[in-house]
Amino acid sequence: MYKRILLAYDGSESGQKALIDCKEIAQWSDASLTLVAVMPHQIDFIGAEGGFYDPKITEREKLNYQSVMEQGLRALADAGRAATGEVLVGDMVSEITDYARKIKADLIIVGHKHIDSWAARWWRGSSSSALIEHAPCSVLMVITH
C-alpha cells in the first residue's frame, strides 16, 4: 500500500487531473502527500556568444511556480487532504526522482498530455519515459488528450 505519494504538479489540465487522482489514491491508502513544482534553470541565450542569467527573472519565475504549487495545495485542502509542497529548480526528471528518494516516496504521480503529432513527440522527447526509467518507486501517469 502507498504511504508516501509525490505529485509533480504544474497546474496544467493533465496536472489538475493528476491532482484529483492523487487525492483519491491518498484518501484510499491514507498516504501522506507532497507536491513539487519543478522550475527549469533560467538561462537566457543571446546567440553563439553564450547566455546570461538574470536573477530578477529567476525570482519572478520562482514566484509563478510557487503560486501554481499553492493552488494545488489549496485544492487538496479544500477537498480535506493535507499536503506539503516545495518548488524545485533544475532538470525535471532529476529533481523529481531525487526528491522521491529523499522523502522515500512509494508512488510518483504526474500528468501527461498525449501529443498527436509524431514530429512534436520526436522534437520534445519523452520526459515521461525518462521519469519511469529513473524513478525509485512506482510511477502513475495520468493521461489527458
Number of domains in the chain: 1
Domain holding 45, by residue range, is 4-144
How buried is 44 (Cβ within 10 angstroms: 0-12 exposed, 13-18 middle, 19+ buried)? exposed
Q: What is the pTM of this model?
A: 0.81
| CATH code (residue 17) | 3.40.50.620
Number of Cβ within 10 Å of residue 32's Cβ equals 17
pLDDT digits (tens, 9 = 90+) for 101-113: 999 999 999 987 7
pLDDT digits (tens, 9 = 90+) for 32-82: 999 999 998 765 555 556 555 566 667 888 899 999 999 999 999 998 999
